Amino acid sequence: MSRRRRLPVSLALIAPLGLFLLIFFAAPLYTMMSAAVSDPIASRALPGVGSALASWDGSAAPGPDAQAVFARDIRSIEDDQLFGDLVRRLNSAKPGFRTLMSKTRTALREDLKANDLVAIDERWSDPAYWQAVKTATASTFTDRNLLAAVDLERSPAGDIQAMPAGISANRTTLARTFVVSLLVTIACLLIGFPYAMIAASVEGWKRQLLLGAVLLPLWTSLLVRTAAWFILLQDNGLINSALMALGLSSGPVPLIFNRTGVVIAMTHVLLPFMVLPIFSVLIGIPKNLMPAAASLGAAPIRAFWKVLLPLSMRGVVSGSLLVFMSALGYYITPALIGGAQDQMISSVIAYYATGAANWAMAGALGIVLLAATIILYTLYLRLASDQQVQP
């Protein structure tokens, strides 16, 4: 069949999977992202207030016209659920709205002609409350959650500023995720590079054995491997028993529910992703280069630095990117082996989504993690395609 006649057929063949992934892969990611940036509650509950406050300068409480619009909108909220959502939304921007709003609503419902809000509650003369109402009703989108994901917030005047210390620990979690991923990548590199070199330098059954030792864990269930490390690392586990039997330690060394355990177990899980790319680059390097360097007078270490390392750099970088990228999004191993102080960004996202039902924050942190992963993956792809062009 000619390429031209094949095209409709090919399109029809990829269409089912394309549609499936559009609906169940792209759309969920979009839903997650829009949950992070959409903020429709205040605009829906108070439809007239947004335009009424648009020209307000923010120096003092707004004039009687704008206050009348606000009073009218509050009176016409029939749905208690919507009112509750509105109060929660405003209270999260400025504490105090909870009492203020219920008092105001009761008063406005009792006296249908009252439009002077300051007479109902003194707090309505404070522009800060009006500023919160204005911000909430101005747009159905918000950057609040995205800023909160990196511990930032907007001041009443609208400038971006750091959150007061102690309110949110997202930056700490992000930094910890980065540090743990980096430690795991370095550990994988320190074990994986020499291992790949040895595997590439031998042949026959020895190479099969070395590669098999990498592939068997790769094929084994992640949960099985994590359970295995749980058994080995516990206080009365095999490693501690061995250390104490050898007299290297008098009591159990704390290996589980801390950073050490997480790094050890994650290194084990991700090591194959470092060994395999490096190995595949190393076997492509001509065998006679190192003897050539030696015959020209280079000491083994110098030959390694000047010849082997630069040539294998591509595998090293691919492997490191792959390991680092996978480590960033890791959930199961830190959740089971780590303590409360070792939880990474995935655990915080899972907490917001399944524990706190705060999908806006889960989505915002999800965007941060997704962006980091996509950037690293793009780098990896670019590297991989370079490899094909220049073998």
24: which 2 tokens? 């169940």
- Print the SS3 string covering 82-104: HHHHHHHHHHHHCCCHHHHHHHH
> CB of 61: closest distance to another protein in angstroms?
39
C-beta of 5: minimal distance to another protein in Å?
9
Q: Cβ 38 to another protein, closest distance in Å?
A: 12
Identity of the residue, 18 or 310, whose beta carbon is nearer to another protein in the bound complex: 18
Rounded Cα distance, 158 and 347, in Å: 31
Give whichever of 179 and 231 is closer to another protein, judged by the CB atom: 231
> Cβ neighbours of residue 292 under 8 Å, at least 6 residues apart?
none
Q: With respect to another protein, which residue has the nearer C-beta, 77 or 307?
A: 307
Smallest distance from another protein to CB 259, Å: 18
Nearer to another protein, 17 or 112 (CB): 17
CA-based torsion, 144, 150, 151, 152: positive or negative: negative
Dihedral sign for Cα 232, 233, 234, 239, please.
positive
Distance CA 331, CA 341 (A): 14
Q: 103 CB contacts (<8 Å, ≥6 apart)?
A: 120, 121
Q: Which is nearer to another protein, 56 or 351 (CB)?
A: 351
Minimum separation from the CB atom of position 210 to another protein (A): 6
3-state DSSP assignment of residue 154: strand
Phi, psi of 299 (to 5 degrees): -70, 155
Q: CB of residue 163 vs another protein: minimum separation in angstroms?
A: 23
Residue 134, burial from CB neighbour count under 10 angstroms (0-12, 13-18, 19+): buried
Name which of 115 and 373 has its Cβ closer to another protein. 373
Among 65, 76, 166, 155, smallest CA distance to 112 is for 76
- Rounded to a whole number of angstroms, the minimum distance from the CB of residue 26 to another protein is 8
- Residue closer to another protein by CB (options 13, 119) is 13
